[in-house]
Structure 1
Amino acid sequence: MIFVNDLPFSTHTHSSQGEDILLALLENPVLLSASSSFKANPEKKFSVFDESNPERSKVVYVFQREYATVNPEFVDFVGTDEATTCVGLVIRNRRNGMTSVAHMDSPEIVETGISQMLSLLVDDSTEIELDVHLIGGFEDVSLQHENGSTVSESHTDLDGYSFPLCTKIVQTLWTREEKFHIKTICVLGHNTRRDLDGITFPLFNGFVVDTATGILVPASFDRSSRCPDEIIRRIRVSTSYEDANWNGKLLETYDTGTDRFKIAPCRWTLRQYQIALSLQHYSDSEILSICSTSPSAEAPDFVDSLRRKWNYMIEHPHWKETFPKNQPRVFERGSDGRWRRC
């Protein structure tokens, strides 16, 4: 059930189709204003080496296909970046400030993924009010057809990645019983810029949530702050696509109750090792073309991150070296706010 401005939301045609709901939300004046306000905020930059932050804010970082539900008593900020066609979804319990953030990369993980996010946010009562923000995705295809009709009028299937993902998210929120108050929907055209050649790019690739207030601002994280266990978590995302245990699910890495990261074992196969070995021989431009859903929109360190991941798999071909005795890699927060391996 979707609310906007604390009122039940409906489309002009009272349609329950995901495309119609999405386009109506994108055109809603209240949400247009909220999107503009979000974009007006300066981007917050995170780095472990930022000495201007003496109090060492407690941050939880979420990679692609991961989610984390955080308690404001333990965590100051939770966020993600590196999103191009992916969408960041935030669900926050108004009553206690518990906040869940997911980095959605496919419509196939949305339904179960939202259930995972809600598992620690709601109890048996459906009366809990939940604030929701959608940030990310961009117009990797146009929402306008050559004849001028919109998608909602023609219902033509769209290629691309962002639109089907956004559609699936709002459709799922619409059909569930919980009360979802959409506060921000900065996606697709609202998150798109064009260069002189008309090539589209996302305005923002990331955001962060202040857990005390629920306020979102654009954000970026450098390599040092995409932690802990950056490379292993990147590998885990890649291997999860071939692991039936994670079909249709978001990856769990953060333990809400203990404020620890627990990176469950993941197995890279001989086939995945050989793929890594093969891809390392390609040029940067070829890697972008092969490995990205939006090659022109990726960050400058996209290829470098892939190469570092592949290098690790090549140097450690046996996953048991990384996960001895099939045990998770556990990290706890030190007194200085930095993560340390237990």
Structure 2
Amino acid sequence: MGSVIVAHGLRNTEGRTLEGRRVKPRGSPLPSLPWALPTATASHCSSLSLWALGHADFSSCSNGATCLTHCDGSDTKAEVPLIMNAIKSFSDHTRCGRLEAHLVGGFNDDRQLSQKLTHQLLSEFDRQEDDIHLVTLCVTELNDREENESHFPVIYGIAVNVKTAEIYRASFQDRGPEEELRAARALTGGPMISIYDAKTEQLRIGPYSWTPFPHVDFWLQQEDKQILENLSTSPLAEPPHFVEHIRSTLAFLKKHPSPADTLFPGNKALLYKKNEDGLWEKISSPGS
């Protein structure tokens, strides 16, 4: 068994530095990640949850393989090995370099769910066979601000420059292709998967299947307050677009109760690739 090696001198410094940086509005260099979807890539490629960022260090003999994941605690024991395998599939860290981890997110919520998730993630990283250097820890109390006796996260989203390893606060105007489809899969309980192939530089979405969402008509008829209070673990801390996002996802689930029939004809994945303007463009499905 390996161990998590904490860079004690960086534990608060890196987190506070990250908190103090301004939020950078971004397009969508890779798809934004609603809930638990990992995106793994290497540097040569052109709310209540935590962001787990793992990468092989950017030494002269490492390609800076990077995996950015949105973890919500649904299956941490299975998710951490997926993160590690994604990193190691791109980088021979045994020959040179080291494996590094950055944990960002959560806050001092009333139900202490952020603390529980932080403990789960640290425990699972510690159980891995490899030595993992924890470089940034900006979680729970370290990512908390108080306003009118209520607690909120300081950082709601992050991004990473895979060429330089810079991590920064970010907001996304464009959340990438098939946002409603990806969100619908997550809302119905789909496990963590990777949708980006760094070798082909393509997004591969689906094919997915799910069972009809229970009581979808009931939820669509509810007022915003009811949706916020019943479908969020931390209603006061959600970003402004939360209810709108949930409504659009529920409407999508109602429209597509059996996605295999309507969204993935021939049981083929949806493929996207960046065009010359840096925008995602749909390309033909495999085998078509």
Q: So what's the TM-score if we normalise by structure 1? A: 0.75
- Counterpart for residue 168 of structure 1: 120
- After alignment, is 93-102 or 309-318 more displaced? 309-318
Deviation digits for residues 233-267 of structure 1 (CA, Å, limit 9, x no counterpart): 001112235xxxx3xxx122112211111111222
Gap runs ≥5 in structure 1:
6-27, 49-57, 76-83, 142-158
Contact 2:49 2:105 (C-alpha < 8 Å) held by counterparts = yes
Instruction: Determine which of 194, 199, 205 is the counterpart of 2:150.
Output: 199
Provide the residue aligned with 1:220 in structure 2: 171
| Per-residue deviation, residues 202-233 of structure 1 (Å, max 9, x unmatched) | 011111111111111111112xx111110000
Residue of 262, 266, 283 corresponding to 1:325: 266
Q: Write the mapping of 1:8-157 to structure 2, written as runs, cut at 5 A.
A: 28-47=8-27, 58-75=29-46, 84-94=47-57, 95-106=62-73, 108-122=74-88, 126=94, 128-141=97-110
Whether the aligned pair in 1 keeps the contact of 2:38 and 2:70 (CA below 8 Å) is: yes
Q: Give the Å deviation of 1:292.
A: 0.4
More displaced stretch, 121-130 vs 161-170: 121-130
- AA at the equivalent of 1:262: R
> 1:267 pairs with 187, 209, 213, which one?
209
- Cα deviation per residue 1:25-52 (whole Å; 9 max; x = unaligned)? xxx453111111111211111136xxxx
* CA positional deviation for 1:125: 6.3
Aligned counterpart, 1:305: 245
> Which amino acid in the other structure matches residue 261 of structure 1?
L
CA drift at 1:131: 1.7
Contact 2:30 2:176 in 1 (8 A): no
Could you tell me the TM-score, scaled by structure 2's length?
Answer: 0.88
Counterpart amino acid of 1:240? G
Once the two structures are superposed, residues 120-144 of structure 1 have per-residue CA deviations (whole angstroms, 9 ceiling, x without a partner) of 3226865651121101011113xxx
Q: Show CA shifts across 1:177-210 (max 9, x none).
A: 21211111100011111112x1101011111111
Residue 334 and residue 71 in structure 1: after superposition, are their counterparts in 2 closer, same or farther (change >3 A)?
same
Cα contact 1:239–1:267 (8 A) shared by 2: no
SS at match of 1:119: helix
Name the CA distance, whole Å, in 2 between partners of 1:125 and 1:262: 27
Alpha-carbon RMSD across the aligned residues, in angstroms, is 1.9
Q: Within 2, Cα distance between the matches of 1:340 and 1:125?
A: 34
Map of 1:225-304 to 2, 5 A cutoff? 225-241=174-190, 246=191, 250-270=192-212, 272=213, 274-304=214-244
Q: Is the 8 A contact 2:102 2:137 kept in 1?
A: yes
Structure 2 Cα separation of the partners of residues 333 and 47 of structure 1: 13
SS in 1 for 2:67: strand
Deviation of residue 62 (structure 1)? 2.3
In structure 2, C-alpha distance between the alignment counterparts of 1:125 and 1:69, rounded to whole Å:
16
Quick one: which amino acid aligns to residue 237 of structure 1? Answer: A
Q: Secondary structure at the match of 1:266?
A: coil
Task: Give how far 1:160 is off.
Answer: 3.3
Q: Residues of 2 paired with 1:30 and 1:46: CA distance?
A: 27
Structure 1 runs, 4 residues or longer, greater than 4 Å off = 123-128
